[in-house]
Every structure is written in structure tokens, then in C-alpha cells.
Chain A
Amino acid sequence: NRPRGRHRAPATMLDEEFADIPSIPQEDGDAPVVRIKYVPEFEAAMSKFRGLLQLDERSERALRLTEHVIDLNAANYTAWVYRRKCLDALDSRDLWQKELEWCGDVIENNQKNYQVWFHRRRCVERLGAAGEAELAFVAECLADEPKNYHAWGYRQWLLRIAGLWDEELAYTARCIREDPFNNSAWNQRFFVLQETGRLRDAGAVQGEMDFAMAHAAGDPFNQSPWSYFLGLVAVHPSGAEALDKAVKMVEPVADQHANCPQAHGTLAELLVKTGDVDALRR
């Protein structure tokens, strides 16, 4: 675990600075259910947090307090919403910049947390920071966790608003080279083709089909290139002609690998589309 709060000393609820904020115990009723055995530090922080909410104070010390709360429970979505209210009220570009950096620390320790990734989008929007540096940040996250669903979603969001499409096909090709079984990378490639309009170009689509078949032939038990291939056939600008060509591309690989369900499943799908019942039966 990285040290918390890169730019600020960690807060504790005993700090003088929070002394006048009331501590409000949790109202869980007379016969609560699904009780959690909170550690004392957690209870103290949450009690101060409730006090802060009661005051509705939008200040820098509120930022320090909520940072501590998030450190104890990054899924506390109320704390994240409250932070954004504070930042909006304080209206300081410098604070938003620090926020973006701190956000990166939280992501490192909570790669699969919904709130922090959403918060990062808000920071980037406020700062107008959708650019190369952000793409590089996501690439770093994906280097650690190549299939992180949140990271890929964030990357897609970023690409759309930044419009930085030029290098993305090459990026996906690198990811696929590193791990041909990374289905997220294949999905990203399809996404780029879609968003940039390349799917309307028969030559480009054919090139992608060749790319997919090369991988499928290399390891036919990898589902990803087959799904990608079928996806391309379904939207191929040349329609039926492309379908026949696709069958001819798949048949040899299927013939070579009699026990491969991915290859034969793909062939069956294509034959269903062509309506060639005899071939399907075979």
C-alpha cells in the first residue's frame, strides 16, 4: 500500500483542527441487522463525518476529513459526492489539480472501485485535462491489470472526448500481442473501428478479418479472434460476398482442428447465415 495523501499529512479524528465538529453516533435502530464490527478508528471517523454533513461545511478541512473517510472505505459514495461539493464551492484550479493526483493514488489501491473512476472523470472535466497524459495514466493501470473493466471504460470515455484516435489501433495491437487472450483488447479494437468509421471501408474490414484469422489459426482455442471475426462479417460493407469469403477463410482451420469448438462454432454460425444446410450438416 502506497502512503496515503501524497500532498497532505494523514488526518486523525483527534486532530485539533476537527475539535469543534460534533461527533454523531450512527443511528442503527433498536434491533439492527447486518451489523458490522467497526474498528474504533472507523467509528470515530464516521461520527465526525456525520457531524461534518450536519454542518454542511465546504472547506479544506472537509477535504482532509473526507480523504480519511475514503481511505477507510473507498466505496463510501456520500463522501465522494461531498468532496465534489467542497471542490465546487472552493472553486480552485489548484485544488482540482491536487485532487486529480490524489485520485491516482486511490485508484492504485482500489483498482476496481466505481466511485474513484467516476470522480476522476469529474476532475478531468473540470480541468479540461482529457489528453495524452490521461491516456498514459490509463495505460499504466492497464499494464498492471490488463483486463480491468473500469480502466477500459474510462479509456473509451477519454478517447471520445479527447478524440485521440490515431495511436489507439496500434495500442490495441500491442495489447493483443502481449496477450492474445485479452478479450478486452479485442473489444477495444472493434470499438476504435466503429468510432472512427473504418467499418464502412471494405478494405479495412477485410484487413481486420485477416488479422483475426492469423491469430485464430495460431491458437484456434482462443475465442477472442473468432468473436471479432464474426463481428466484422456481420457489418461487412460487402454483405453476402464477404460471407462466402469468410467461410472459405474459416474452413481450412476448422478442418485442421477437428476437436476445436471455437473453430467449428464459428463455421456453423457462418453456414447458418449462408443457409447452406448441407454444409452445416457436414
Chain B
Amino acid sequence: DDLDVEAHVHYFLGCLHGHLPAAFASLDSTRMTLVYFAVSGLDLIGALDRADRHAVVEWVYAQQVAPEGAQGLGGFRGGPAAGLELAEDGATPASPLDGPHLAMTYAALATLAILGDGLRRVEREAVLAGVRALQLPDGSFQGHADGEADVRFVFCAAAISALLGDSGRWHGLNRDAAVGRLVACVTYEGGFGMAPGQEAHGGTTYCALAALALLDALDALPCRAAAVRWCAGRQVGGFQGRANKEEDTCYSWWVGASLAILGEKRLILRAPTAAFTCACQYHKGGLSKYVGEPPDPLHSYFAICGLSLVGHEAVRDVEPTLGISARAWRAHTRTLLQLQADVALPPGARCAWLSPPSLRADTASALEVARWLRLALGSSISRLCVDSTALLTACAMAALAGAAGLIARGSRAAGAQPGS
């Protein structure tokens, strides 16, 4: 199960800073996803510093839709393909047809989070309004105005909310409607389909489970055991996306991460996953969906994510609910606290901060968590709504790391009772 890391670094850098061949014109409207695959891919194999961070950040922000021309609905587009002629002052004119797309907004925010951008230029409230405007009465989301609605975009809405620190406040979505819609998509097989009645599918199952986790609604799942059984049953060597279909490397992520979210990561068999994925490597870099096919950015990225889940030495940990490295998510939560400290809250408002869904129990992270807790408790937000389980875990870890003093000081500064 050898991973040719340098070849894949070369591949991702080529996608990012080279020229993709003409056949990629079919991805012209969704270039933002290519940015995300390359940047997150480089991050996972330890080569993020080899990307031109400034160029990426500038290009990403250039795709943000200006809310003034869009009825206050913001977000990011996939690229400049539908953009109009620039004004004399260089401003991009807004056009209702050059609007935001939920998957592109997710990809943009994930990319910015990975690169440690402070999100200062993100029109946070406009983006959330843009997300909300795309939710339908049945709880599902369209990807863009006058587009198809399905489970993929419920995930995008939930992930965007998490990346903007809006989990708990939920300005971007009607949580109950979204949860209801997701639960309606469970099939008799135990997985999730794209719409109620449709066949259980690996990609949709991931989107649904990740969304439920981000919406703090995993307990709404009617039968967790059935979902676990369906996911586990998809490993036939590599993973298949549906019963009786071929193995495909990207499902090692979609289905594998689903198992991780369900708390059953141990059911992913390492040897066959790694064997299948590594057999799909192209000698010049990149990975394909199955053996003998040419590589593409999507499969290259998700194949590597799948290897992360089985603990491959060459790949960093991924946060399963968000599709960014655990490192990036931890760093990003600090960014969110900074952002929230700056957001003017109406009196009596609750501001939720999202705890990192997976805290690693080792000393280095515990110290990081303790420092971060101090920042949270010492911030200007008068009332914090926290995930109590995560808070307890974090305190315990910090105590183990001998950093309990930081917490006590921080709590007193915020007027909270350390003992409570």
C-alpha cells in the first residue's frame, strides 16, 4: 500500500497552477471544486506550503458574489465563466445569472479555512441569507436559483453554516425542515437516496449523515444499525457506491467517512482499501476511480481522503463531517471565535461556538484546546452556548496537560463559575 506522495503533490500543483487540458471544459462552471480538491489534497499529504496561497485566496474571493446587486443574497460562484464586463473602476458587475452556488460556496469556505484565511472578506450574513433563500418548503435545498434540489445541497448548507460559525444560530437554514427531509431519504436498505424513494447511494449517504451530524441531529436517524450495516456492506475490496455495483476509489471516502460519523470507523478494513486505492495510482501522479482509468482531481482527492480514514502513514487526519483536515478545522475554530467576538449581537442573543467534532486525546491538542478555551471564555461574548460534552472533554484533556490554570483564569474573567 505504497502511496507515491511526491507524484500526487506534483499532480495537485499541476491542477492548481498549471493548465488543465481542454477536456476539462466540462468543469468550467465548477472550477471552485477543483481548487478545493487540489488545496485540501495538498494539505492531507503535507504539501500545503507548496501552493501559492496568495494566488488561491485572491482567486477564491474574486468569485464572491456582491450582495448589493443580488438582493442581499451572497455566496460564491464556481468561476468567472458567466461574469460580465468589468466596470471602469474594475468592479465586477452583479448579474442575476452570475449568482452563487451552494457547492461552490462550500468549496470556497473550506479552501479558505484550510489556508488559514481569517474570513474577513466574507460577507457572512449575506452568504447565510443566500443559503436560506435556496431552501424549499420540503426542507431540501437547490444548489442555485432554478436548479435541482437534493440531499447534496442540504450537506452544503449545513457545512457552510459550520464553516461560518453559524451552527446553533442557524440563520442559513430551517433546521427542523432540513432534518425532516434527510430522514425521509432513508431507504429500506439502510442508506440514503437523493430524494425520498430513491436508491441508497454512497455519496448521498455521506451527505445526509454529515449533514445530520453538523445539524446535531444524528439521533433523528431511525435506525443507526441499519445505516452501519449498509455502509459496511459496501466494502467489497474497495468500496462500491451501491449494492452490486463496481468498486470506485471515491467511495472509500463517502462510505468510509459515513462509518466514521456513525462511530464505526473500525469497520473499514484497511488492507483491501489501501490495496485497491494504491492500485489506482497513475505513475505521473493522481488517482483514478478504478484500475486502468486515467486520473482526475475528484478521485485523486477522495481516494486520499479514504486512505486517511484507515490511518495511512502518508496522509493526515480528516474531519469526517467537513472534508477538511483535522488540523485545518482546529485552527479554523479559533478563527470563528475571533469572528464571533466581532459580530454585534442583539441583547440576550445566544452565540454558539462549534466544538471540534473530533478531539484527539493527546497532549499537544489538549494544550491547543486549553488555549482556545481561554480565548472563548475570555471573549467579549457575554453568554456562550456550548456543547457540554465537548466542553467537559476539553477541560479534562486540558487538566491532563496541566493547563487547568488557564481554564480557571479564563472562566473567572468571563464571570462564569469554574466549578459549574
Q: Are A31 and B58 in contact (CB under 8 A)?
A: yes
Q: Taking CB as reference atom, which chain B residue is nearest A153? A: B198
Within the assembled complex, what's the spacing in Å between the Cα atoms of A46 and B98? 13
Residues of B within 8 A of A269 (CB): 229
User: Measuring CB to CB, which residues of chain A are less than 8 angstroms from any residue of chain B?
Assistant: 22, 24, 26-39, 42, 46, 49-50, 53-54, 72-78, 81-82, 84, 114-115, 117-118, 147, 149, 152-153, 156-157, 181-184, 187, 190-191, 194-195, 222-224, 227-228, 230-232, 234-235, 265, 269
What does DSSP make chain B's interface, helix, strand, loop or mixed? loop
Does B26 touch A at the CB level, under 8 Å? yes
Q: Are A228 and B188 in contact (CB under 8 A)?
A: yes
Which of B83, B147, B188, B201 lies in contact with A149, CB distance below 8 A? B201
Does B267 touch A at the CB level, under 8 Å? no
CB distance from B195 to the nearest CB of A (A): 6
Within the assembled complex, what's the spacing in Å between the Cα atoms of A230 and B15? 45
Does B189 touch A at the CB level, under 8 Å? yes
Q: Are A76 and B28 in contact (CB under 8 A)?
A: yes
B 172-205 binary contact with A (CB < 8 Å = 1; else 0)? 0000000000000001110001110111110000
Within the assembled complex, what's the spacing in Å between the Cα atoms of A29 and B197? 44
Quick check: which of B29-37, B316-324, B346-354, B377-385 contacts chain A, the rest being far away?
A: B29-37
Q: Taking CB as reference atom, which chain B residue is nearest A223? A: B243
Knowing A76-B29, A187-B187 are in contact, say whether A224-B243 is a contact too (CB < 8 A): yes
Within the assembled complex, what's the spacing in Å between the Cα atoms of A52 and B143? 23
Knowing A33-B55, A53-B97 are in contact, say whether A76-B81 is a contact too (CB < 8 A): yes
Q: Are A53 and B26 in contact (CB under 8 A)?
A: no
Residues of A within 8 A of B199 (CB): 149, 152, 183-184, 187
Does B144 touch A at the CB level, under 8 Å? yes
Q: Are A187 and B25 in contact (CB under 8 A)?
A: no
CB distance from A224 to the nearest CB of B (A): 6
Within the assembled complex, what's the spacing in Å between the Cα atoms of A114 and B148? 8
19 contacts between A and B (CB under 8 A): A22-B85, A27-B83, A34-B31, A53-B98, A54-B95, A72-B25, A78-B29, A78-B81, A78-B97, A81-B145, A82-B97, A84-B146, A153-B194, A184-B199, A184-B242, A187-B189, A227-B189, A228-B188, A232-B188
User: Measuring CB to CB, which residues of chain B are less than 8 angstroms from any residue of chain A?
Assistant: 15-22, 24-31, 34-35, 38, 52, 54-56, 58-59, 62, 80-86, 92, 95, 97-98, 101, 143-148, 187-189, 193-195, 197-201, 229, 233, 242-245
Q: Are B188 and A54 in contact (CB under 8 A)?
A: no
Within the assembled complex, what's the spacing in Å between the Cα atoms of A222 and B245? 11
What does DSSP make chain A's interface, helix, strand, loop or mixed? helix
Knowing A81-B146, A149-B199, A184-B199 are in contact, say whether A31-B22 is a contact too (CB < 8 A): no
CB distance from A191 to the nearest CB of B (A): 5
Within the assembled complex, what's the spacing in Å between the Cα atoms of A159 and B34? 37
List of 5 A-B pairs having minimum Cβ-Cβ separation, nearest first: A231-B188, A118-B148, A187-B199, A31-B55, A183-B243
Residues of A within 8 A of B92 (CB): 27
Q: Are A34 and B20 in contact (CB under 8 A)?
A: yes
CB distance from A214 to the nearest CB of B (A): 18
Q: Are A42 and B22 in contact (CB under 8 A)?
A: yes
Residues of B within 8 A of A38 (CB): 22, 25, 28
Q: Taking CB as reference atom, which chain B residue is nearest A192? A: B197
CB distance from A25 to the nearest CB of B (A): 9
Residues of A within 8 A of B193 (CB): 187
Residues of A within 8 A of B22 (CB): 36-39, 42
Q: Are B59 and A77 in contact (CB under 8 A)?
A: no
Q: From B20, B30, B145, B189, name the one whose CB has the most chain A CB atoms within 10 angstroms.
A: B189
Residues of A within 8 A of B146 (CB): 81, 84
Residues of B within 8 A of A224 (CB): 243-244
CB distance from B23 to the nearest CB of A (A): 9
CB distance from A272 to the nearest CB of B (A): 8
CB distance from A45 to the nearest CB of B (A): 10
CB distance from A122 to the nearest CB of B (A): 9
CB distance from B146 to the nearest CB of A (A): 5
Residues of A within 8 A of B201 (CB): 149
Q: Are A81 and B97 in contact (CB under 8 A)?
A: yes
Q: Are B244 and A37 in contact (CB under 8 A)?
A: no
Within the assembled complex, what's the spacing in Å between the Cα atoms of A234 and B101? 39
Residues of A within 8 A of B200 (CB): 187
Q: A33-B16, A231-B189 are in contact. List 16 more A-B contacts (CB 8 A).
A: A50-B83, A50-B85, A53-B82, A53-B95, A75-B27, A75-B29, A77-B29, A81-B147, A115-B148, A117-B148, A149-B198, A183-B199, A191-B197, A223-B243, A223-B244, A227-B189
Which of B31, B82, B243 lies in contact with A36, CB distance below 8 A? B31
Residues of A within 8 A of B21 (CB): 36-37
Residues of A within 8 A of B81 (CB): 26, 46, 50, 76, 78
Residues of A within 8 A of B24 (CB): 36-37
